[in-house]
Structures are given as structure tokens and as C-alpha cells.
Amino acid sequence: MMTKTILVTGASRGIGRATSTLCGARGWSVGVNYKSQVEAADGVVADIVDRGGKAIALQADVSIEDEVIRLFDQVERAFGPLDGVVVNAGITAPSLPLVDMSGERLRRTFEVNTYGAYLCAREAARRLSTGRGGRGGSIVLVSSVAARLGSPNEFVDYAGAKAAIDTLTIGLSKELGREGVRVNAIRPGLIETDIHASGGDPDRAQRLGATTPFGRAGHPSEVAEAIVWLLSDAASYTSGAILDVSGGR
């Protein structure tokens, strides 16, 4: 099995944590990015190392350009050239209709979920593109089914920010198709992660998950399996795809 170097943003919890752990289990070297939860990120690294893998925790705020560049530099210094990047870091806020959202909330939502994702995707393109000295690879962007559902009266800001990720996936996949880089997106549905608690509704995934065709919320590990497939050579002819992992929602 070929060893890969993978960077996962927002990797201290939820889908990012599950993805990092699964990458480590494959024998890949993993850069575990976090913004502030250093103990959680160190725990992810420990899980990977305990199973015989290689990992390093790397602090960076993805909405700050200099920190994103430093993040990519650090993972490459630690493990060598990148083979894959998972653009996962994101935030949400308490459920509200748009008319009640503050300008600060709107700014921060798009700053992290859209601008931050574009910064990370740009830096990944610069590092992976064969035309710029990279060895090709895979970029996986984490969107959300909110991008096509709209999340009315809850998170129309988050939904809009994630819709931009779908567009980025399509456009960037065409830019990089001849540069040896595949670009795809995953749209998770209702997944049991801490992001619901940070939005003020910790039981949201379980409550609404019961209304899906599967009758339950998803697990981070189920999303991670799809992400790791897209990172792997098994997905060698897959690019520009947007894959729903949502229990049929």
C-alpha cells in the first residue's frame, strides 16, 4: 500500500477526526489541523500513533492567509510533499431566520466556511499541481446537504457558504484536471457531531435524523469512509463529483 501524506483541516473533532484516524489506519501520514482545541487534536494524533501511524497536530485559523500557508509548510516539513488535502474546517451558529442574523455572524460564517475553504483549496492546488512541481493528488472539500436544502429558519448563511463549496469543486476540478489533481466534494447530511451543540441544539442530529429515509443520523466514520475513498487511488477517474452522504435525505 502506497504511503500518502494527507492534511485534514478542522481535524480535532467530528468528521475531521474520523477522517484523520481512518487515514492513519491506512498507513498514511496525517497533518491534524485545529484552531483552538489543542487537547482534542493531540488526542487524535495519539490515536493514530498508538495504531502505528504517523501524525502531527498543527494549529492554524483557516480564515487567515498567513496561517494557512504556514500550515501547509509545516505538514510538508514534517512528512514531505502532500498527496491529499481534506478541506473540512467549518463553523455554524445558533438557529435563526436570516432577518435576525447579525452582520458579524454573517461575516464570520462566510469568512471561515467559504473564504477559508478557498484559501485552503488554493494552497492545496499550488502544492499538488504537477505543473508547479507537485506530484498530483486529491482535494476533498466538505460541503453539506444544506447547500441544496437551504436550511430555512436555521442556517441559511451556512447553507449559502457551503453552496459556494459545491461551485468551487466543479470549477477547480476543471482547472486542475490536467495537473494530476482530482477535486471532489462530500455533502454530509445529519451527522452526529459537536457542530450541532455549537449551534445551540445538541440533539438536532438525532431528532431530525429520525425523519430521513434511513430513520437515523449518520456517524462521522461513515462520512470518513467516503472521504478516504476519494483520497485513494481507487477513485482515480473521479473528479468534479459531489457525493451526498446523507442517508437518502
Show the cell assigned to 144: 453539506
Biggest CA–CA distance in the chain, Å, is 52
Q: Is the dihedral of CA 35, 10, 216, 26 positive or negative?
A: negative
Q: Could you confirm whether 158 is annotated as catalytic?
A: yes
Q: Which is the catalytic residue, given 34, 115, 118, 158?
A: 158
Burial class (CB in 10 A: 0-12, 13-18, 19+), 132: exposed
Query: In terms of Cα–Cα distance, which of 22, 58, 48 is closest to 225?
Result: 22
The catalytic site residues sit at 158
